[in-house]
């Protein structure tokens, strides 16, 4: 037992240095005034009141939440049928398609997102194909469509894999029993498959919504400088404006929103293995 404890200490130290300490610094900056002068150092809520009293920042937060929700809904609507189809196939075909889905994630997200610039720009691949059909170029770059498309493309593998894992772990004897009792395929899906796969759906929602609501690179690249989400505001405050106090306050607000969303997702978890006791 002592040997195992000694193996845990480096991991605990790493967590303390790389996660706990930065979070404590963000907490400190969020509730203090700017500057390093000890004489002027004081705790304050001005950073939070500045955010909630400015309609521009609230509009950016609202836009970020709407984009994240829209991205999550699209990932569920597209990811569930794909995961369901893969799970119903043979083990060999399932392994192949899971590999095909995970392969793009091996490439850096920045490179994958840059590829969409060449596809969606005015003289890109899509508009070139439309030109062959006699259709005029369509403005796609620096729009909500481009941002949502980039997020769905980058985050949908997490949704598919979570749902697929939940479906493959499902006890197939339930479906056989339903068929013996006269249930058709639709009834079996609605009453057995869908409820048993909800834990995977909820896990997928968490893995998609959390990075989508705080993403800053995708909207910056595909949305242009005029399309700002809350992640871009935080990046600007830290790297451009140098206002670490206000940036920390916004980061803390987003952390609270993320923790609340995780709590809600956990509460509605209907995993039969826990008898509905998500917590």
Domains of the chain by start residue, with CATH? 60-274 (1.10.3720.10)
Write down the mean pLDDT value for the chain: 86
Are 219 and 149 contacting, i.e. CB atoms less than 8 angstroms apart? Answer: no
CA-closest candidate to residue 200, choices 265, 275, 104? 265
pLDDT at 273 over 50: no
User: In the chain, what percentage of residues exceed pLDDT 70?
Assistant: 91
What confidence tens digit (pLDDT) does each residue in 232-268 have? Answer: 899 889 988 888 999 999 999 999 998 888 888 877 7
Please check the confidence at residue 270 and state whether its pLDDT lies above 80.
no
> What is the spatial distance between Cα 117 and Cα 163, in angstroms, rounded to a whole number?
30
pLDDT tops 90 at residue 77: yes
| 43, β-bridge pairs | 32
Q: Read off the tokens for 101.
A: 């889905």
What sections of the chain are H helices per DSSP?
2-15, 21-30, 46-53, 55-88, 91-102, 109-120, 125-132, 144-168, 173-180, 185-188, 194-214, 217-222, 230-235, 244-267
User: For the residues 85-106, what does the mean pLDDT come to?
Assistant: 90
Is the pLDDT reported for residue 39 higher than 80? Answer: no
| 80 within 8 A of 201, measured Cβ to Cβ | yes
One DSSP character per residue, 79-109 reads HHHHHHHHHHS-HHHHHHHHHHHHGGGGS-H
* Phi, psi (rounded to 5 degrees) for 43: -80, 145
Question: Residue 36: what pLDDT?
Answer: 59
Give the pLDDT band of residue 275 (cuts 50, 70, 90): very low
Higher local confidence (pLDDT), 9 or 61 = 61
CA-to-CA separations, 94 to 63, 101, 102, 113, 197, in angstroms, rounded? 37, 11, 12, 27, 17
Model pLDDT, residue 274: 43
In this prediction, residue 78 carries a pLDDT of 96
pLDDT category of residue 4 using cuts at 50, 70 and 90: low
Decide which of 101 and 278 is more confident.
101
pLDDT digits (tens, 9 = 90+) for 119-129: 988 888 888 88
Taking the C-alpha atoms of residue 99 and residue 95, their distance in angstroms, rounded to an integer, is: 6
CB of 118 closer than 8 Å to CB of 124: yes
Residue among 176, 178, 177, 170 at smallest CA distance from 84: 170
CB-CB contact of 257 with 247 (8 Å): no
User: For 33-37, 160-164, 181-185, 237-241, which range has the lowest pLDDT when averaged over its residues?
Assistant: 33-37
């Amino acid at each position: 037992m002592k040997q195992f404890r000694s193996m845990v200490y480096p991991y605990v130290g790493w967590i303390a240095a790389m996660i706990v300490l930065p979070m404590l610094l963000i907490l400190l900056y969020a509730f203090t005034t700017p500057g390093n002068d000890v004489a002027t150092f004081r705790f304050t809520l001005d950073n939070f009141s500045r955010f909630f009293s400015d309609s521009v920042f609230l509009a950016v937060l609202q836009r970020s939440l709407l984009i994240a929700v829209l991205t999550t809904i699209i990932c569920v609507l597209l990811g569930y049928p794909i995961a369901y189809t893969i799970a119903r196939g043979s083990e060999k075909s399932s392994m192949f398609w899971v590999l095909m889905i995970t392969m793009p994630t091996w490439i850096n997200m920045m490179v994958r997102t840059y590829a969409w610039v060449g596809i969606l720009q005015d003289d890109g691949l899509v508009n070139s194909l439309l030109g062959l059909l006699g259709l005029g170029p369509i403005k796609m770059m620096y729009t909500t469509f481009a941002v949502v498309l980039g997020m769905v493309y980058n985050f949908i593998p997490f949704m598919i894999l979570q749902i697929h894992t939940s479906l493959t772990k499902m006890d197939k004897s339930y479906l056989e029993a339903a068929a013996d009792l006269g249930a058709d395929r639709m009834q079996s899906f609605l009453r057995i498959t869908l409820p048993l796969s909800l834990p995977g759906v909820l896990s997928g929602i968490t893995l998609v919504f959390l990075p989508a609501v705080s993403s800053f690179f995708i909207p910056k690249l595909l949305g242009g400088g005029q399309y700002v989400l809350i992640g871009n505001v935080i990046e600007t405050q830290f790297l451009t404006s140098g206002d670490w106090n206000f940036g920390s306050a916004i980061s803390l607000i987003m952390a609270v929103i993320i923790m609340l969303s995780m709590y809600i997702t956990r509460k509605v978890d209907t995993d039969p293995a826990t008898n509905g006791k998500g917590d």
